[in-house]
Structure formats: structure tokens, C-alpha cells
Amino acid sequence: MSSALLERVATGARWRSWLYRGLGAAAAVGLLALLGVLIPLDWVTTLSSVFMYIMLAEGWNILGGYAGYLNFGMVTFFGVGAYTAGVLCTQYNVHPLLTIPLAGSVATVVALLVGVPALRLRGVYFAILTLIISFLTQVLVTNLGITGGASGIYMPALPFDAFTNEQIFYYAFLFLMVLTVLLAFLIEHARFGYALVAIREDEDPAEILGVRTTWLKTQALLLGACIAGIAGAIYAFHTSYIEPQGTFSLDISIDVVLMSLVGGLGTWQGPVIGVPLMLVTAQVLRILAGELPFLGTALPPEFDRVVFGVILILVALLAPSGVMGLVRRVRGRRLTV
Amino acid sequence: MMRHAADVPAGSGRPSPNGLVADTSAGLSMRGVTAGYYSHDLVLNNVSLLARPGKVTVLLGPNGSGKSTALRILYGLLRPRSGQVLLDGREITAVPPHRRLALGMALLPQGRSVFPELTVQENLEIGGWLLMRDRRRLSAALEAIYARYPLLKEWRQKQAGSLSGGQQRLVEIGRMMMASPRVILIDEPSVGLAPVIVDQVYEEIARLKEEQRTILLVDQNVRAAVALADYVYTLEYGRNNLEGERGAFEDRLEALIKSWLRF
Amino acid sequence: MLTTISLSLLVQALINGLLLGLVYTLISLGLSLTLGIMGVVNVAHSTLIMLGSYLALELLQRLGLDPIISAVVAVPVFFLIGVLLERLLISRVARTSQTTGLLVLFGVLVVIEGAAILRWTTDTQVLTVSYTNASLTLDGIAIAVPRLIAAVIALALVVLLDTFLRSTLYGKAIRAMAQNRDAARISGIDTDRLSLLVFGLATATAGIGGVVLAMIFPFDPQDHYRWLAWAFLVVVIGGLGSIRNTLLAGLLIGLIETVSSILFPFQYVYFIVYLLLVVALLVRGQGLAGSQSRAL
């Protein structure tokens, strides 16, 4: 076979595989859209939270996964988004729909203020700094008058019945999640994504070779922050009450890292796999533990925390590339056969 | 007599210096060692060496030929993928570096390796770590080192990091000699030192040779190294290349160095 | 009249600040040791401190042990916890990647905190002993007895550890390992075993720190982040490699806390410390990277 022909066949095969993948993804999204009207209320709520965490994890993954800068303060941007929506809506009577893009913008601005100095630090020091900034923001929000301090903000309710309400949030989170996953997919296959990976692999040579590392890292942080801010705003309306302890909880930051890690850092599929896996694990554990005689049915939520902590340790130690790492290894093996 | 590694019949196993049957029960040797830091490339490919007791063996080769890696393997800082390291016939491939002093081995590493924020005396005490349970032997060893290198006694309260490069080299030598090793591995002893100091370092190596210690010297400073050598090995692309007695190398030095400059 | 009162108030604040500063030095020692010697950023440090507080509580409630005795009991208990942590987790990751180590230690933090809530709930606890409310008064300056005892214990440990690292051969070996790990190995030092010792010691100081903190502050399983920030601030300001500098930094933080709690409402102290830490990290965070990079 001539090489030109070979190439055409290969291109055709590549196109076909893209087509199949695209159709598969569309079918999956269609199925999820259909589920929104088919499944019971508490499932709708659970899936909404899965979608929200996928958004957060994809947003985190841009800087944390591809570029290897572990942000342990993702909740800062999520909380800022939630509070922007809350404050604008309750104090300035801004229309709820308008607060959502504004929340994304404010979170982006905060990320810019934080990121420009913070991204000069590397490795663990960047991680510690982002952690402390999330504490700092929490203290600030707790003590400001405009945020309602420790007593928080009651969000206005939407004028629908409970089920419709849940469905609205279901579709909102689904829509945004699909956009976020698509964005992550595009980044992964674009120069931007390759440059971020180059930063993760070895930052100094990347910089010497002309990769504008500082600007790229900042962009990655801003994108993630914007996504987290939007997610936070919708979360605020969904949960109907926000206060500093829960909205800025370190648990959220850690869960986002853990879920991305379990799925596979630096892959667009990672969060899509990791988030449901962890949330389902938590549910199953609750059910299983409820059956056990000595723990009883009233299992405190801290039990999940302990299990999540153990999983974090085990995955970091034994399977640092997560589920995607295992998938790739199996695929690789198949190819060499 | 100098021979090419390719001349050694394949499958004959260990190289046999001088064409005689090597007495592999004595000295430090490496047999058929293959090693690399990443899975896809090999830094050493089936390398065999022997440092004979009481002799100076010199390992030469262009940059990146695997000399330093060979030394790291001989001292246990790196594990080979295959092959063995033997000391007086006993396999020590897996013996960790901190146990090697007790076997009578020592390594003088390349570049600066003093503990900069400890005093000179504290640096020496660390060299005598094996004697830590026996205060008297430790102070005796310390006195012996001060007698051997009187300058160290003068500097003993100074922070090692405050000394010049050449002075630090002497601290490193003193620290190594605290354990009075029989087998000494030396990696690039003259790198980064002023010419006057370099001469002193080679004088010290000559003294170690006179004391009948077994020395394996890895060096870029080909002339100085060969002048001290009893036996010379060269590596190229991580493989054994030439080997032979010093005499066979002395007249071929120019050609050898020139050929390496191409790399 | 007014000036004498405010003067004595100032002196009292200074004394309180210095006493607190000694305690803050104690809770920072472990973080400084693991970072400076092993290059490990132990974010779980403060959960170990929190466990120390609960050890004191349990020993007081069950056996009626005075926290001063609990501080002694904490040494072997926490040394062992540290050795186990090092052997099981830290030794596997610390040298491969600092960020993997960080992830693992975040996991440890989450596990300990969750387990503590399961065991002790989120209720705030106070250690009450005979001298809890006692104070020494001198010239109108009152010093709380628990603070004094806490500070004395802390000072004793700081001096002990400093002497150990400076004067004993083991201490010198630990410092040598911090300065050049490979050079220490070729000098015959078993750096893996020495790391066990270092992590054990660091964890023991965290445990004692927790006991001592429980003498002066109420505690719960979740407020340990505060101590993590305080300890990091001390370490970042004091730098690595010298316990004396850590002491100076600890005293400074103690003074900053007491002075700012006179000037502002208490919750602002958190804000000030977090902000100081952010600034300190930005100014010299990377400079802390330490000497771990030095190798043969």
C-alpha cells in the first residue's frame, strides 16, 4: 500500500473514532437529560451535586492536574462565588440569573489578586499558601457586615414547587458541567494544555524554551476560579442558605483534590470518573455501615471523612495516576500484544 | 599490553587483566553490570571492572560514558539492573552505602560534600560515626587525622562551609580517612579546584597508594590519573572499551584524549 | 494613675506574650524539624497537636492525671505514633515527590480529624485542674499559673532539643543528614533509621505541645488549623536549621498575638496571623526549600 493511501485510511479511521466518541458523549448527555424527568427527587439532588463537583474538579484540574500546582484552597473561589450571588441578590436586588456571571467574574478577579503573587511559589509552598488564603477569606467573610457575618445569608427561593426547583438546578448544573468537561477536553488537546503539562514535567526548561509559564499558570488558575465561582453561585441558590463555616469548608477543597486524584490528575476524564466514584463510595459505605450492628443507623458524616482520608492516602501512595492511570496501563498492554 | 574489550572472547565472563586468570577473590570488582536511571536507556551495558588490592586502578572515558554511574554502583548508591559487585570475592551488590565503611570501603565524592554548617571537627566526627559507641577510639582516630593533616587541627573550630574549595577538599579527605578504609573510590578529585590544590590532592592520592590501599580513581584529568595508575580501564557509551597496564596507555594518551573531544 | 495602669497592662501583655511565645515555639519545633531535616511539609502536624490535647483530657478524666504528668506520658506515646507514620507513609513518598507527600499527609489530617470527631464529638473541651484559675500577682501584674507552667515545660523542651542537636553525636548526625543526605550515608549513617528518630521526635514535641496548649486554651477537633497556621508562621519567619531562630520567631508571634488582642477584637488576631503568614510565605517561602537539594 502506498504511504498516501495508508495515511488516508489512518485519517479516516481517526475521523471515525472521533465521530463514535462524539456520538457516545452526546448519547450520555442525552441520557442524563432524560433522567432529570424520570428519577425520584432525592436522586435528582444527588446527581446535581455530582455535576457540581465535576465542575469544580475540572476547574481545579486545569492548574492542579495539567500544570501540577496543587491548589488546596479551591473553596476560596467557590465561596466567593456563592457570597457574590448572595450579597448582590439580597442587598442590591440584582436579578439571580445576572448574579451568576457576576459571581464568576468576581471569583476570577480574586484569583487574579491571589494568583499573581502566589504563583511565584512552587510545589508545596503554593499549596500551603492557597490553603491559608482560604482560611483568610473565611475569617474575612465571618467578620464583615455585608456578608451577614457568622449568621450567613438566606437566599431568595425560586417561585416553583420543590420538584421543579430541583429539576431546574439539575439542568443548570448538567448544562454547565457539560460545558466544563468540553472546555477541559479542548484544553487537553490544545497548545495551552501541552504547555501546562510541560510546566508540570519540568518548569525551568519549559520557561527557557519560551513557554510563558507565569501567564499560563495564571490563566489556568483564573479559568478554574471562574468555573468555581459560577458553581458557587448556583450552589448558593440551590442550598438557599449560606454561612462561612460550610461554604468555605476545607472539606470542599480536599474533596475536589481527592476526586480529581482518584479519577486521574491531568486528564479530562479524571473528574468525570472520580467524582461519581467517590460520592457513590460514600453512599454505599453509609448503607453498609448502617447494616452493621455496632455503628447503628445514625452514622455521623465524619465517618465519610475518615474513609475519604484513607482513600486519599492509599491512592496517593499506590495509584497516583488514579483510575485513568490504570485504564491507560491496560490499554497500553493491549496495544503491545 | 593493552587490549580491546572486543578482544575478550564473548562468554568468557569476567575480563582477565594481563591475559592471566584473574584472582577475583581479592579486590573490588564489578561483573557484567547493566544499569540506567530510566527504563528506555542504559548508562552501563554489561560493564566489568576489577580494582586489584593495593593498586591504583583508573577509570577513564568521555563525558557521559558512565564512569560516575559505575562508581555509584560500586558504592551501593545505585542498584544495578543486573550484574554483581564483589569485595574480596564476597557479593556486596545490595549492601547499602552506610554499611560499606564497615567493610573497609570509602567514597570520596565529586564536588563539595562537606556538611557546611558543622565545624571541621564535627565533620570529622561524622566520618567516625562507626566508632560512636567507643568515645576513646573516636578521639584516637581524631588525633590520628590531626597528626596526618595538621591543617585540619588549625581549622577545627571553623564552620566547614566557610572554608575555601581546596580546604573543604582536605576536610572531605580527612573525614573519609577517619575510618581508615582499605578500598577507596575517588570521583573526579580535581573538579573545580585551583591548580596548586589539584597537585596536593594527587600527592595525597599517591600517599594513599604508598600505604598499599586499593584505589579506584575516576577522572577527567587523564594525564594526572594515568601517572598514578597501575591499571587503566576506559568506558565508551557505557561499555568496556580499552583496558591495560599504565605503560600501554602512556604513549597513546594524546590520541585517546583527542578521540574523546569529538563527543 | 492612668499611665501606671496602662504601663502595667503593657508589661503584663509583654510577659503573657513571651510565655505564649514559648508555647508557640514548642508547637512549631516538629514542623521545623521535619521540614528542615527531611524536607517533609507535615500538614498533619496540627492534628497531632490536637491529639495531644485529647490525651491530656482522657488521662485527666480517666486517671485524674495532672497535665504536667500527661506531658511526660505524651513523649513515648507520640514518639511511637511518629515512628509508625514515618515507617508506614512518609518513608515511602518523602523522597520521591514532595507533593505526593503533601497529599498523603492531607489524608492523614482528614483521617485524624474525622476520627477525633467520631470519638470526642465537636464539643469544645476545657482542662480543669486545681490551678486552672490561679494566678501570681506581683506589683499589679497578674500571671496565670497554667501559662507559666506551660511556658516552663516548653522552654525546657526547647533547651533540651537544642542541646541534643548541638552537642550529641546523634544530634550532629541529624544536622549532617539535613545538610547533605548522601554524604551522611557514605559516612556510615543509616539515614533511614535517623529519619525515624527525627519524625518520632517531631511528633513527640507536637504531642507535648498539644498537652501544654490544652492547659491554657479550650480545644475541639477542628480548631487545630489555627495552630497549623501559627506553627507555619513561626517556621517561615524563623527559618530552618536553628532552634534558636525558631525560638525568637515564636516569641515574636506570641507578642504579636497578645498586643493585637489588646488593640483589636479577638477574631482579628486570626486575620492578622493568616495575613502575616501569606506575606511571609510570599517573601521567603521558596527560600525555605532547604538543603535537601544538596546531594552527591
Whichever domain contains B50, its CATH number is 3.40.50.300
Distance in angstroms (rounded) separating the CA atoms of residues C55 and C47:
12
> Which element (helix H / strand E) includes B225?
helix B222-228
Say if residue B198 is in the same domain as residue B170: no
Cβ separation of C182 and B75 shorter than 8 Å? no
Would you say residue B34 lies in a domain?
Answer: yes
Distance in angstroms (rounded) separating the CA atoms of residues B6 and A325:
44
Inter-axis angle of helices A74-91 and A213-239, nearest 10: 50
Please give, rounded to a whole number of angstroms, the shortest distance from the CA of C201 to a CA of chain B: 21
Q: Helix H segments across chain A?
A: 3-38, 41-61, 74-91, 96-118, 123-143, 162-188, 191-201, 203-208, 213-239, 244-247, 250-263, 269-291, 302-318, 322-336
Cβ separation of C187 and B175 shorter than 8 Å? yes
Q: Is B118 on the interface with C (CB under 8 A)?
A: yes
Q: Contact at 8 Å (CB) between C29 and C157?
A: yes
Number of independent structural domains in chain B: 2
Say if residue B142 is in the same domain as residue B64: no
Q: What ipTM goes with this model? A: 0.89
pLDDT at C292: 43
Place of cell 497516583: A320
Say if residue B194 is in the same domain as residue B250: yes
- Average pLDDT of the segment spanning C123-131: 88
Would you say residue B20 lies in a domain?
Answer: no
Residue of C nearest to B133 (CA): C169
Q: Is the pLDDT of residue A28 over 80?
A: yes
Burial C246-271 (b: 16+ CB within 10 A, else e): bbbbbbbbbbbbbbbbeeeeeeebbb
Say if residue B187 is in the same domain as residue B89: yes
Q: Can you spell out the DSSP letters for C18-57? A: HHHHHHHHHHHHHHHHIIIII----TTHHHHHHHHHHHHH
Express each pLDDT in C1-26 by its tens digit.
Answer: 455 557 777 888 899 999 999 999 99
Burial C10-37 (b: 16+ CB within 10 A, else e): eebbebbbbbbbbbbbbbbbbbbbbbbb
Would you say residue B144 lies in a domain?
Answer: yes
Say if residue B203 is in the same domain as residue B262: yes
Q: Is A94 on the interface with C (CB under 8 A)?
A: no
Rg (CA), chain B: 18
Would you say residue B19 lies in a domain?
Answer: no
Percent above pLDDT 90 for chain B: 32
Domain end, chosen from B152, B180, B208, is at: B180
Please give, rounded to a whole number of angstroms, the shortest distance from the CA of C66 to a CA of chain A: 30
Nine cell digits for residue C276: 502575616
Would you say residue B2 lies in a domain?
Answer: yes
Say if residue B87 is in the same domain as residue B133: no
Say if residue B187 is in the same domain as residue B174: no
Domain end, chosen from B129, B155, B180, is at: B180
Q: Is the pLDDT of residue B131 over 90?
A: no
DSSP state for residue B19 in the 8-state scheme: G
Nine cell digits for residue C197: 528518630
Would you say residue B229 lies in a domain?
Answer: yes
Nine cell digits for residue C269: 488576631
Say if residue B85 is in the same domain as residue B138: no
Express each pLDDT in B66-95 by its tens digit.
Answer: 888 899 999 998 888 888 899 988 889 889
Instruction: Label the pairing between strands C141-144 and B183-187.
Output: unpaired
Say if residue B35 is in the same domain as residue B163: no
Residue of C nearest to A121 (CA): C286
Cβ separation of C182 and B129 shorter than 8 Å? no
- If we measure between CA atoms, which residue out of C253, C285, C282, C242 comes closest to residue C33? C242
pLDDT at A292: 58
Say if residue B97 is in the same domain as residue B119: no
Say if residue B99 is in the same domain as residue B229: yes
pLDDT at A284: 79
Domain end, chosen from B180, B201, B227, is at: B180
Say if residue B59 is in the same domain as residue B161: no
Cβ separation of A125 and C281 shorter than 8 Å? yes
Residue B94's domain comprises 1-8+25-104+182-263
Percent above pLDDT 70 for chain C: 94
Distance in angstroms (rounded) separating the CA atoms of residues A206 and A213:
7
Cβ separation of A309 and C285 shorter than 8 Å? no
> Which element (helix H / strand E) includes C62?
helix C45-63
Which residue segments constitute the domains of chain A, with CATH numbers given? Answer: 42-336 (1.10.3470)
- Average pLDDT of the segment spanning A25-53: 86
CA A105 to chain centre: 17
Please give, rounded to a whole number of angstroms, the shortest distance from the CA of C130 to a CA of chain B: 46
Would you say residue B109 lies in a domain?
Answer: no
For C234-258, give the secondary structure using H, E and C.
HHHHHCCCCHHHHHHHHHHHHHHHH
Would you say residue B58 lies in a domain?
Answer: yes
B188 in helix, strand or coil?
Answer: coil
Place of cell 443507623: A297
Q: Is the pLDDT of residue A32 over 60?
A: yes
Chain C residues with beta carbon closer than 8 angstroms to that of B142: none
